[in-house]
Amino acid sequence: MLSVLNDLYRIVRPSGLKRLVAVLAVTFLQAVVQTVAVFSLMPFLSAVADVAAFRRSFVGRSFVGLVGEGSDNRLMLIAGSASLALLVFGNLLSLFAEHHRNRYAFTIAQDLRTSLTAQILARRYSYFLGVNSSVLLKHLMDDAGRVASEIALPALDLASRTLVVLLMAVSVLFVEPSVIVVGAVVVLLFNLFVMKPIRKRALANSNTIMLGFRRLHFELFQTLGGVKQVIASDRKDYFVNRVSQASEQLTRAMARVPLYAAMPRSGFEVLVFGGMIVWVLSAIMSGENLTALMPRIGFIAIVAYRMMPSLQIMFAQAAMINSAQQALAEVMALIAEQPAFSADPARPADVLVPGHADRLGWSRHIRFENVVFRYDGADEPAIRHLDLTIAKGQRVAFVGSTGSGKSTLIDLLIGLLTPTSGRILIDDVPLTYDNMHLWRQAMGYVPQELFLLDSSIAENVAFGCEADEVDRARVLRAAEIAQARDFVETGQAEGFDTVVGERGVRLSGGQRQRLALARALYFEPNVLILDEATSALDPVTERKVTEALRRDSADMTVITVAHRIGTVRDYDVIHYMEHGRILFSGDYDSLIATQERFRGLVSNQH
């Protein structure tokens, strides 16, 4: 439990120590008021049982000195009213404290999700090549939520109830010390022989729950991510069965959680009330005056009555914390994985703004110097000792067979991958993390795998801008160049306000590709990088897009990866790649005239 609390403290510390101290202070006040409220019943019960004896007792004399002399009825009325008032105030304070703890706990979840998302996005792109997205979603959605609702909140409530129980135990110590001494021994034995084995089983069950959640997320992510293929191939039963199997494993483990909470709770209930019965019977058998004993019996019975719900909830919360330990362990492991980049907290987050001046200035060339890149676990490099210069304003294309290294070269250029050796320079300035955000401000990029937001067309074009910050004039201009304006304005019911659906499911492949190109142009880049950006377009539309880019972006440096050679026929330079190297370069006509491999590549497309 101490290790859990230590990890929890590391998580809540960024949310603010003052807030934590405030929550703990309210919790402490709640415990004190509840204890005083229960303890205030003792004078009332004593006065009701034997008012004369009560007046002679130390408590009675102190009470009379506080409220003044009066009739017996007045004395009992004041004692009862004071006790009732304290009980009402104590319960109201408990409601306030519980609300305060709930709000604080779920603020932790919000802060944790935000910080984890920022940390994940600060990592190199290569990190995402080795991790399943369903695992990251599980960490951000389920694990962060469980840390708040099943660890932080129960831990705070456990602290509150533990304090209440301890203070009430102290109050009983003044009334009947033997009950506390015997009770402490019984609790110690109960913890050793009952709680310890249960905690061990609960921890193992927690691990099973963690694996179950991970598998269920994976299966659901696979099924819904490929729903079109699943339905088209009529393999629904296969995927439903896989989800069912994962859910069944998780269900069995989750069903054991209440059992582990109920077992100690039930046993302890028998111990508490059984112990009270034994104590009363022992007192009667020893010949004690039952009338004199009644106030103490009543007081201890009330304390037990108030303590039992807290004890029962404490056992349930301890079981919940045990069951959620793996979620905490997964979050801590994610936090411990330091991002590959050390972001400067003083630098604000990158926000692309049309016409933004804060870009990496360059006027001459982009240069690759002896660049080598090898993917983790790969036997051979994907890029081999590449030397390359791209002049500003040039239109440059990379062609070659699949797996020749074209897309890897593009990923290196935009900073998704970092060279294993060698370097990339912009006007002789090495491209590093410190200036990468400035370089990306200058760049427009259309990847092979398109991603559209489940939002309006305008918001997809102005990617990363709030709806009220979208510049409609720029959207229209970018859509015009990308040959997207006509289909949006004539074929979509709400024009640029039309919502495209998840990943643009309501649009055709060619329409999605044109919107992705418009997105790259919206921010008016001076470098446009196209990775198979027109592969889904028909030849007529592709030609119109190419002509519009040449006409309206004459000063822009355009770098293209293409399989269809006709797309780049008029480019300044075409580089032919094979096995991570550039074998030859030139314009279209010179390569047709001198390079048989290039001629073969062209002829295969006719």
Largest CA distance in the chain: 122
pLDDT level of residue 353 (50, 70, 90 thresholds): very low
Q: Region 210-230: what's the mean pLDDT?
A: 77
Q: Which of 152-166, 207-221, 283-297, 442-456 has the lowest mean pLDDT?
A: 283-297
Class assignment of domain 365-604? alpha beta
Q: Write out pLDDT tens, residues 545-592.
A: 888 888 877 688 999 998 888 888 889 999 999 999 999 999 999 999
pLDDT of residue 382: 93
Most confident of the ranges 17-31, 369-383, 546-560: 369-383
pLDDT above 90 for 6 = no
In angstroms, the CA 322 to CA 187 distance is 20
Instruction: Tell the burial category of 26 from Cβ atoms under 10 Å away from its Cβ (0-12, 13-18, 19+).
Output: buried
Give the C-alpha distances (Å, rounded to integers) separating 452 from 223, 250, 288, 483: 20, 33, 82, 17
Q: Write out pLDDT tens, residues 25-66.
A: 888 888 788 777 777 776 777 777 777 777 777 767 777 788
In angstroms, the CA 37 to CA 52 distance is 23
Residue-range domain boundaries for the chain: 1-336, 365-604
pLDDT above 70 for 229 = no
To the question of pTM greater than 0.85 for the whole model, the response is no
Q: Fold match between 1-336 and 365-604?
A: no
The alpha-helical segments, DSSP class H, found in 363-508 are 406-413, 433-441, 457-461, 472-481, 485-491
pLDDT level of residue 359 (50, 70, 90 thresholds): low
Contact 472, 556 (CB under 8 A): no
Sheet holding 365-373, edge to edge: 383-391, 365-373, 421-426, 429-430
Both tokens of 405, joined, read 């290294």
Q: Region 537-542: what's the mean pLDDT?
A: 80
pLDDT level of residue 295 (50, 70, 90 thresholds): low
pLDDT level of residue 264 (50, 70, 90 thresholds): low
Instruction: Tell the burial category of 147 from Cβ atoms under 10 Å away from its Cβ (0-12, 13-18, 19+).
Output: buried
What 3-state class would DSSP assign to 587? Answer: coil
Question: Can you give the C-alpha Rg of the chain in angstroms?
Answer: 36
pLDDT level of residue 293 (50, 70, 90 thresholds): low
Q: What is the mean pLDDT of the chain?
A: 81
Q: Region 80-101: what's the mean pLDDT?
A: 84
pLDDT above 80 for 221 = no
46-61 b/e with 16+ CB inside 10 Å = b? Answer: bbbbbbeebbeeeebe
pLDDT of residue 142: 84
pLDDT above 70 for 318 = yes
pLDDT of residue 575: 95
pLDDT of residue 579: 92
Q: Which of 571, 576, 545 is nearest to 558 (CA)?
A: 571
pLDDT above 50 for 348 = no
pLDDT above 50 for 158 = yes
Question: What superfamily would CATH give domain 1-336?
Answer: ABC transporter type 1, transmembrane domain (1.20.1560.10)
Q: What percentage of the chain carries pLDDT values higher than 90?
A: 17
pLDDT above 50 for 346 = no
pLDDT of residue 232: 63
pLDDT of residue 377: 83
Q: Write out pLDDT tens, residues 388-421.
A: 999 999 999 999 988 899 999 999 998 888 999 9
Between 453 and 195, whose confidence is greater? 453
